[in-house]
Amino acid sequence: MSRAALLVLADGRFPAGGHAHSGGAEAAVRAGRITGAASLEDFCRGRLHTTGLVSASLAAAAALGADPVTLDAAADARTPSSALRAVARRLGRQLMRAARATWPSGELDSLAREFPKGAHQPVVLGLVARAAGLGAQDAAYCAAYESVSGPATAVVRLLSLDPFDASAVLARLAPELDLVADRAGEAARRVPSDGIEALPAVSAPLLEITAEDHATWPVRLFAS
């Protein structure tokens, strides 16, 4: 398969439902913690090195063929917020639906049977990368990029931020994306020898806390 499959999978227009989520940015905007491009960058950088790294590692491990049920339990343990676990499973289910139509695969079929309500999105993403003929590093890049592209796009809508500024934020984060994707790939390759705890578990306390609050807002622009 071709590397271009990565572009299809990472494209924001791939119909996997990600556009409805701000990755915690909506709550941060409301709290006055994101007010422009500089604070958006700081937000994205923090998200990248915490949930971004964790997601990228899970995706890379799934792409390498680690047991998805074990990975899903590891994702649960790394996602204390019940609101964020629900979001991760919903996004996993939506990605599964789009991916099975795009890259039909027996592994995706069996994961869908195992988790009818959806597995954690990064685990699905890793298996989708496998189905698309991509490697662990590709899966890690995809997850790491999603961890920052979602908030950046959302803040364009939430703050009427100039889209050029949002893209510049993502471009400035590119070297750190490389770093995170590398770390994720290394951690995933250690799973067969060191077990599932080789995967990073870095958390972002404010994302966990504000997700529970955001889930109760009666009116909001984004689902999370």
Q: Which residues contact 124 (CB under 8 A, 6 or more apart)?
A: 62, 92, 95, 96, 99, 108, 111, 118
Is residue 218 part of the contact set for other proteins (CB under 8 A)? no
Is residue 33 part of the contact set for other proteins (CB under 8 A)? yes
* Window contacting other proteins (CB under 8 A); options: 96-104, 129-137, 156-164, 192-200: 192-200
Q: Supply the minimum distance, in Å, between the C-beta of residue 27 and other proteins.
A: 10
SS3 per residue for 39-80? HHHHHHHHHHHHHHHHHHHHHHHHHCCCCHHHHHHHHHHCCC
Report in angstroms the alpha-carbon separations of 18 from 62, 64, 65, 201.
Answer: 20, 24, 24, 22
Give the one residue of 1, 7, 77, 174 binding other proteins; rule: CB under 8 A: 77
The CA distance from 192 to 201, in Å, is 17
Is residue 223 part of the contact set for other proteins (CB under 8 A)? no
Q: Supply the minimum distance, in Å, between the C-beta of residue 69 and other proteins.
A: 11
One character per residue 84-123, x = contact with other proteins (rule: CB under 8 A):
-x--------------------------------------
Please say whether the dihedral angle defined by the alpha carbons of residues 120, 97, 166 and 173, taken in this order, is positive or negative.
Answer: positive
Is residue 141 part of the contact set for other proteins (CB under 8 A)? no
* Window contacting other proteins (CB under 8 A); options: 1-9, 12-20, 68-76, 135-143: 68-76
Is residue 174 part of the contact set for other proteins (CB under 8 A)? no
Report in angstroms the alpha-carbon separations of 167 from 48, 91, 92, 126, 215.
Answer: 16, 24, 26, 25, 28
- Interface positions with other proteins (CB under 8 A): 24, 28, 33-34, 39, 42-50, 53, 73-74, 76-78, 80-83, 85, 176, 196-197, 200-209, 211-213, 215-216
